[in-house]
Structure 1
């Protein structure tokens, strides 16, 4: 029983606090509408996130971009061998705030607040995969002060620290068949609040001509240190009450570093094209060590993620002084390898389709609209590393739809 408790707590911490690669990139309405390109695009304060070096090339002294999206995610599961079916439909609300201020001709300061790792997955309680997950609620807010230095007419650098604060709640059944005397399945709720960590971002931008920009941005790996998180058991049978006691845990949870490079081409005065390549270092997530504070031994849960790439293309067309239209497309590779596909991260390789527009109210204020439809390839896969050696799998179909709105203000 002690071994079962150890492995269960470990799997919970590994899957919940990190969200395992189930990340939908929504860090700005203008750039999302352009396929989430932006490392070589300078059209608003959103560049603070995509490449802080670009802040130095913004024309206005002050720039502000504020936006939010409604994220509707749906996953359907089926195992035809046992005639199992299940589904989960969840709503998220990622947001972003970016501001820049030009101190002088060569120095610009900025601030970015955004939510790249928040997610929710909620299956029915006691469904067939409940020994792996019932529900997850992950919240993470990134705060990024930045500076950008312009080195002549064609080159700039920028960067700054990143502070992350967040929390996680996760629930799963303790095993496939453990119940209390009333027949209620025994489950475990794990919670950690006030998790915080530091990282950094750095970028450069080069404009070889007045029509072409090249950009490069790196965001560092960030280690989220969960300390004294709470683990609470529910519906415990009487014979196990002395073993399955509430406890606390410590764990170090890695968020991967990522490198993005790309270019933009001003084809005409009205038409802009952008291309980004993103490489995320997910291989840092090989396993997770969890230290229990009630005397249980430290345990390790394998995830064995692989590095993954995203390929993005976007376009912007300024039709009139009032309307600018945008569209984009990208391919997003999954970091999850065969045999490690768990229902708390129900995603495979995906393809995103984006679009949007800006209505310019006046020369200072604009309203931005965006949408994203992200379709994940259907996959038949399993998780083969449960504590009792059994495997759980089936066919997963997942998709995400996200409309968003924002405002930009500059002077």
Structure 2
């Protein structure tokens, strides 16, 4: 039997408006306050994520850093030609990070990180104009990363982290813009996967050629989350199509988490002020398509064709006194989404992030951290031009999109 082509756009993805595609760049409160710079810094246990090699240059024998970030964001859609509009109603996102480092001897440090670099929820109104692409989607991914660093000498160190990744996803969309059951309810499909997993690694290098200058490099490898025989449910299917869209069934799909490399420098202007600059190159070109095979004989071909993209980050830190440290930063994030591939689960263009933050030293061991991010997008007109219809033809969906994001983060840093 010939397979019917569906368009289950957006499975396993969407964090609304973060870091190029669906990456949430909120892995440390101190780093986020400085424009999310960190690859050349060695201030706290956050280095487990940003650059494992920097563990070798932490001053304390042991460090624990923990933080949580509150994300408030939404996207507005409008098509002036069809006079339709919609706005997401997203719950508050709460990515977390927990990091621990321990000095073993003068050469070796060990660490452990638990963090969530992918994950958020996007909810569009049910049966909105783009409901045949996405109604709602929720993604959670957690990384558990044991880490080791080796101090070659007083100027150079290397580090390696091996991450176990586990993720959950739930996604719903309508089958198309017109199919309804006998009660007039729109036909839809829901897919859900839990405990999808893979491994990747984080390799780091840090150099301190002078007392004032630090240079860092970090490479995070690609991972692929493979959903196999996970549950899928077709609902409100009219009687004439129930033999085609049998339910419940299963689905198979792969989602690429792209590799990225970051190079950065940090410079101590004086004993109180540090400047930092990072550039991250993310290999989004690995995300060519999202193809889904259902156990009932249906399939979905969803072209993405993302392009590699860069993020440029600038940050500064200044100690007002022994108790208070202030931070600020800015970053420029170029979208990997090419024209004609703007789908409503990641309807974003280039962005500018403004950040601020600070720390308060309760005592010599305990610091309280906070961060603020305002992510700004220009309104843009975009479309997804590769919807494959049941007869094999293609169609488009597009309009004007405007996204906004604000995050507020809190953390603690304990040194002993």
CA contact (8 A) 1:147 1:158 kept: yes
2:283 to 271, 281, 284: 281
- Write the mapping of 1:198-209 to structure 2, written as runs, cut at 5 A: 198-209=199-210
Shift of 1:292: 3.2
1:334 equivalenced with 2:335 (yes/no): yes
SS of 1:49's equivalent in the other structure is helix
Residue deviations 1:143-191, cap 9 Å, x none?
Answer: 1110000001100000121110011000000011000011110010011
Q: Is 2:15–2:119's contact at 8 Å kept on the other side of the alignment? A: no
Distance 1:50-1:193 versus aligned 2 partners, 3 A rule: same
User: 1:126 matched to which residue of 2?
Assistant: 127
In 1, the alpha carbon distance for the partners of 2:243 and 2:30 equals: 56
Give yes or no for the alignment of 1:236 onto 2:229: no
The match for 1:8 is 7
Q: Distance in 2 between matches of 1:158 and 1:309?
A: 24
CA distance in 2, matches of 1:135, 1:295: 24
Aligned counterparts of 1:118 and 1:61: Cα–Cα separation in 2: 32
Corresponding position of 1:269 = 271
The answer (yes or no) to whether the contact 2:6–2:175 under 8 Å persists in 1 is no
How many angstroms apart in 2 are the aligned matches of 1:371 and 1:353?
8
CA contact (8 A) 2:116 2:143 kept: yes
User: If the length of structure 2 is used for normalisation, what is the TM-score?
Assistant: 0.95
Equivalences for residues 12-411 of structure 1 within 5 A? 12-13=10-11, 15=13, 21-90=21-90, 91-246=92-247, 247-296=249-298, 300-388=301-389, 389-411=394-416
Higher helix share: 1
Q: Contact conserved, 1:219 with 1:258, CA < 8 A, in 2?
A: yes
Q: Deviations over 1:315-365 (max 9, x none)?
A: 000111110000000001111000000001121111000001101000000
Between the aligned partners of 1:94 and 1:409, the Cα distance in structure 2 is 20
Partners of 1:176 and 1:329 in 2: CA distance: 41
Structure 2 unmatched ranges of 5 or more: none
Q: TM-score, normalised by structure 1?
A: 0.96
Quote how far apart the aligned CAs of 1:27 are: 0.3
Distance, in Å, in 1 between the alignment partners of 2:396 and 2:293 is 25
Checking the alignment, whether the CA contact within 8 Å between 1:14 and 1:288 is kept in structure 2 is no
Are the aligned partners of 1:339 and 1:381 in contact in 2 as well (CA < 8 Å)? Answer: yes
Distance 1:96 1:2, change over 3 A: farther
The answer as to whether partners of 1:17 and 1:253 remain within 8 angstroms in 2 is no
**Aligned-partner Cα distance in 2 for 1:186–1:12:** 18
**For the structure 1 residues 341 and 379, does the alpha-carbon distance in structure 2 shift closer, same or farther, using more than 3 Å as the test?**
same
Looking at structure 2, the residues matched to 58 and 77 of structure 1 have their Cα atoms a distance apart, in angstroms, of 47
Query: How far off its partner does 1:79 sit?
Result: 0.7
- Judged with a 3 Å threshold, the aligned counterparts in structure 2 of structure 1 residues 128 and 354 are, in CA distance, closer, same or farther, namely same
Question: Secondary structure of the residue that 1:302 maps to in structure 2?
Answer: coil
SS of alignment partner, residue 237 of structure 2: coil
Question: Larger deviation: 201-210 or 281-290?
Answer: 281-290
| Alignment partners' CA distance in 2, 1:122 and 1:288 | 20
Counterparts of 2:94 and 2:349 in 1: how far apart (Å)?
22
Call closer, same or farther: CA 1:140–1:99 in 2, change over 3 Å.
Answer: same
Measured on the aligned residues, the alpha-carbon RMSD in Å equals 1.7
Q: Once the 2 structures are TM-superposed, how far is the Cα of residue 313 of structure 1 from its aligned partner?
A: 0.3
CA deviation after TM superposition for structure 1 residue 2, in Å? 6.4
Q: Which runs of 5+ in 1 are unaligned?
A: none
8 Å CA contact 1:16–1:170 kept in 2: the answer is no
In 2 relative to 1, CA 47–198 (structure 1 residues): closer, same or farther, beyond 3 Å?
A: same
Deviation at 1:16, TM superposition (A): 6.2
1:233-264: CA deviation from partner (whole Å, max 9, x where unpaired):
11111111111112111222211000000100
C-alpha separation between the residues in 2 aligned to 1:354 and 1:335? Answer: 22
CA 1:244–1:12: 2 relative to 1, 3 Å: farther
**Aligned residue-pair number:** 408
